[in-house]
Amino acid sequence: MYKISVEDSFAAAHFLRDYQGKCANVHGHNWKIVVKVTTEKLDDAGIAFDFHDLKTVVKNATKLLDHKNLNELDYFSYQNPTSENIARLLYTKIQEQLPEYIKMSEIEVIESDGCIITYSEERYENK
């Protein structure tokens, strides 16, 4: 299995509804993301998935959020634009653009230094 990772970033404003604290006020972040995809096969050149192509896919997703007030986007009209919900949105938007043989593994959304959320569609089994 090959796991390919690329990083990207975007800047956006947001506020959290029904939240008691500073984040209830409009503020902004320079989010960073790390996208990880997997595949089992290589092309004829020995490449799992071209980094440039993956960066293009990721940029297509992040441009939906870049330099926006996230609360004004339809997707966040019924849910808070938390890092968790941003991660799920980007995961979905990126997966939709990938060829069938490339699968999203996970996405990390870094809201600020040391504050990271990781989203995948893996199920956690509490044993």
What tens digit of pLDDT does each residue of 47-75 get?
999 999 999 999 999 999 999 999 999 99
For residue range 18-46, list pLDDT tens digits in order: 999 999 999 999 999 999 999 999 999 99
Residue 38 bridge partners (DSSP): 3, 103
pLDDT at 127: 56
Q: What is the pTM of this model?
A: 0.93
Beta-ladder partners of 15: none
Tell me, what DSSP letter sits at residue 54? H
CB 67 within 8 A of CB 9: no
Q: For residues 83 and 69, what is the distance between their CA atoms, to the nearest angstrom? A: 14
**Domains in the chain, please, with CATH?**
2-119 (3.30.479.10)
Q: Residue 124 pLDDT > 70, yes or no?
A: no
Token pair, residue 17, equals 């509804």
